[in-house]
A and B are shown apart, each in its own frame.
Chain A
Amino acid sequence: MAGFWGADTAQLHTLAGSLRSSGERFTSLAQQLQASLDNTAWKGRDGEAFRRSWQSEHRQALSKCASMLMEQSKLLESHAKEQERASHSNRGTTISAGSGKDRPGEPTGRDKHVPISGEIPEGDDDLQPDKIEQGGLADCWFLAGLGSVVQDDPNFIRDHMERNSDGSYTVTFYKDGEPVEVTVEASRIEASATDPDGNPNFATVYEKAAAEFFGGDYGDIEYDDPQRALEAITGKEAESEGELSFDEIQDRLNDGPVVMSSESGGDWNPFTSNDGDVDDDRIVENHVYVVSEIKDGKIHLINPWGPDGGTGSDGNSKAGDIWLTEEEYRENFESVSSVPSTRNK
């Protein structure tokens, strides 16, 4: 091994993936056993004692194993990333870290990146909120924020996503109002956001750059606050409010991008009638939507999952974009986030 220091990063990623999937299996096993126990009729003192023992000892032991495996997986990913950055630097491909520049990189935490061929389209038809199709990452909070900004000011996105001569892309985000340039290789993972045809687009690049900006791992952009996305993308101070009237939402739309977060329905039982619960035939629970417009007494919301294709074969059920009355909106959504338009310099 003379002359070789460090590790094969591909093997580190593979090992990290094995640890992660093993952790997931422990979590799944605990859930399955819990379900079996829940479905087992066993009344009396012995049954109660067993259930207490299961909850306080055995289930916790399984959860602990899962957590340890997940933590080790993240540790390996961070080692791999550190080494990849060092290798980039040694090959002289690193952009200067000075002047607010970030180094080019590949966020960790997911499967292998594959190259993006060709340029990302930036025509007027390409830079639209309904051209975003979320994939396997839980980052609706970011993609909806991005969609609302591109709806309000597509030129802002054009100006803040630059293709470099080596094919990489530099996206300018903002931290505490100050610009931070993040450069990423022209590549994507299978779970990346794309356009509705599955092709890489501005959302693919922005999402990857966001993973770098928010910590360097794709896990760093899962489940967060849309206000944070609006501020990182625009550099302007965003605001999150609770339930608003249509008139108030229209005021926010007149001022700039707006997104809306659906409610968590709490304990869910689809087999019983439960008035006031989330309308789960149309609306995704705990999800963030782009507010497109208010027209004829209804609000139009765009799901970052992308538009529906064709006609709903089970009737009219559609998840891609929805029109709601004010009453339906109030029953299903809990907060509105907005930011001043970037068109107002």
Chain B
Amino acid sequence: MMETVTAKQGTQPHIHGVRIGVMRLGRPEGIGVARLALRSDDESRIELLREGESVELFGQGTLTLRTVLLPGGEFQRGAVVLDFEGGPED
């Protein structure tokens, strides 16, 4: 199962009970990167992801940073587009 979420900088959407906080984003040297705070009830992790990179989400599935949207228009402080794939492990 694939879900796609667009999250603005400073927000904290929830995916399968995991809080995905968008701490910071940018495109240094042409590479889209984002600092994310990943927090479940039991664990927390701060991750730095480049576009296309994935991270395991506390046994819930895999989170991929698809795109970094720089500030402008609707996203005045930028946003990230995240793909989540999977579901809870049996």
Contact = CB atoms under 8 A, between A and B. Distances in A.
B19 to A, nearest CB: 7
Contacts, number: 143
Contact of B44 (A70, A198, A271, A318): A318
Given A284-B21, A309-B39, A32 B12 contact: no
B30 interface: yes
A270 B37 contact: no
A140 interface: yes
Interface in A215-272: 222-223, 265, 267-272
B12 A305 contact: yes
Nearest to B7: A136
B60 interface: no
Interface in A286-342: 286-287, 305-306, 308-314, 317-320
Interface size class of A (residues with CB under 8 A): 35 or more
Interface in B31-90: 32-33, 35, 37, 39-48, 51, 67-70, 72-77, 81
B20 to A, nearest CB: 9
A270 B74 CA distance: 25
Contact of A27 (B17, B27, B72, B77): B72
Interface of B: 6-14, 17, 19, 21, 23-30, 32-33, 35, 37, 39-48, 51, 67-70, 72-77, 81
Given A271-B28, A319-B21, 18 more contacts: A28-B69, A35-B30, A35-B51, A38-B27, A67-B73, A134-B12, A136-B7, A136-B13, A137-B11, A269-B26, A285-B9, A285-B23, A286-B10, A310-B42, A312-B44, A312-B45, A317-B44, A320-B44
Interface of A: 23-24, 27-28, 31-32, 35, 38-39, 63, 66-67, 70, 133-138, 140, 191, 198, 222-223, 265, 267-272, 278, 280-287, 305-306, 308-314, 317-320
15 contacts: A35-B30, A38-B27, A70-B74, A133-B19, A135-B13, A136-B8, A138-B77, A267-B28, A270-B35, A309-B41, A310-B40, A312-B45, A314-B46, A317-B44, A320-B44
